[in-house]
Amino acid sequence: MSLRIAFVGFRHAHVYGLYDLARNHKDLQIVAACEEHAETRAQLAGLGIAITHDTYDAMLDETPCDIVACADYFSIHGERVFRALERGKHVLCDKPLCVQLDELNRIESLAREKGRRVGCMLDLVDGAPFVTLREIIRRGDIGEVLSINILGQHPLKYGSRPMWFFEEGKHCGTINDIGIHVIDAVPWLTGYPIEEITAAHGWNGRIKQHPHFEDGAMLMLKLANGCGVMADISYFSPDAAGYSMPTYWRFTVAGAKGTVEVGHNLDKALLWPDDEGGARELALLAPRTGGYLDDFLADIAGKPAPGGLDMARVFRSARIGLLAQRAATTGPIRLKVIP
């Protein structure tokens, strides 16, 4: 039996990927799409997206649906999720799920009260390099994981990126924006929960005309086994290079028996075992294209995939992401580990 999905918010490019997945998914039927921003609404006609409503409340009132897919500027996510849950809908939201801890508390409470599931578009780990990296780590090729270095710099693309990014109060922090991928991926890769936000730093570097916007962001974490994680997740990559640099989402993981490296733009995994000279090239496993969506649907069906992106993991990652954003101002935060 197919589930009916309605979309709200098309002001961030991530949602287009979800729309295409839903349009081609055998278990989903798109029944409505809402865009409240008039300029964006006018642009969507050429993208094959049929907008049925120009107000969110009207879409919820008029459209029978099972799932609401929420996206837009980040600080509106929480409100959009609340309203869908209050109407008894499952919700699949772009990341970040919300921008304040009290919003997350309310989302968790509503999900329990209404018996609905909440998912998030955390798609980094569905890529072939990271599916492969998890397999290498979990089968013990590098032994106990000791340190992880992540280069996740993005191009800012000022002028083509939606301008709401630079409107005060709409973006709300690069650590919660990009760093959430790191926070979600690392426990999934290693099997160890995050024990401590050791350091977080967000700052305004290049884009001086928007002094409140943190185009610089770095994060340091400690896992439950003592493993240290360092991530540069700034918007400092050259715009001309786009997302093509070898340092775009490049993970180097050192273990007690060797080191492995993968990257979004690397076509193989590189493994340096302690007992061999030189690197060994390993073919990448198949990607889990749309894996976050399949995991969400499995969660709705009451059959969460082992190791998948279920609601508990979504909430755990969102909470640590929000605490990490706070830590950029307050300093280190030791966590009560939630396995």
Give the pLDDT of residue 332.
Answer: 72
**What gap in Å lies between CA 72 and CA 36, rounded to an integer?**
10
130-170 per-position pLDDT tens digit: 999 999 999 999 999 999 999 999 999 999 999 999 999 99
Give the residue-averaged pLDDT of 46-60: 93
**What gap in Å lies between CA 48 and CA 55, rounded to an integer?**
20
**What gap in Å lies between CA 150 and CA 55, rounded to an integer?**
40
Give the pLDDT of residue 1.
Answer: 63
| Among candidate residues 62, 64, 55, the one with its CA nearest the CA of residue 9 | 55
Contact 201, 217 (CB under 8 A): yes
Residue 68 buriedness (CB in 10 A; 0-12 / 13-18 / 19+): buried
Name the average pLDDT for the chain: 95
198-231 per-position pLDDT tens digit: 999 999 999 999 999 999 999 999 999 999 999 9
203-212 per-position pLDDT tens digit: 999 999 999 9
Give the pLDDT of residue 254.
Answer: 98
Return the structure tokens found at 115: 């018996």
Domain ranges of the chain: 124-334
Return the structure tokens found at 248: 């775009």
**What gap in Å lies between CA 67 and CA 64, rounded to an integer?**
10
Q: What is the DSSP string of 190-212?
A: HS--EEEEEEEEEE--S-TTSTT
279-301 per-position pLDDT tens digit: 899 999 999 999 999 999 999 99
**What gap in Å lies between CA 134 and CA 189, rounded to an integer?**
5
Collapsed DSSP state (helix, strand, coil) of residue 216: strand
Rounded (10°) CA dihedral 281, 285, 286, 292:
-120
At 215, give phi and psi (nearest 5°): -80, -15
Give the pLDDT of residue 277.
Answer: 76
Q: How confident is the model at residue 61 (pLDDT cuts 50, 70, 90)?
A: very high
pTM exceeding 0.85: yes
Q: Looking at domain 124-334, which CATH architecture does it have?
A: 2-Layer Sandwich (3.30)
Give the pLDDT of residue 275.
Answer: 85
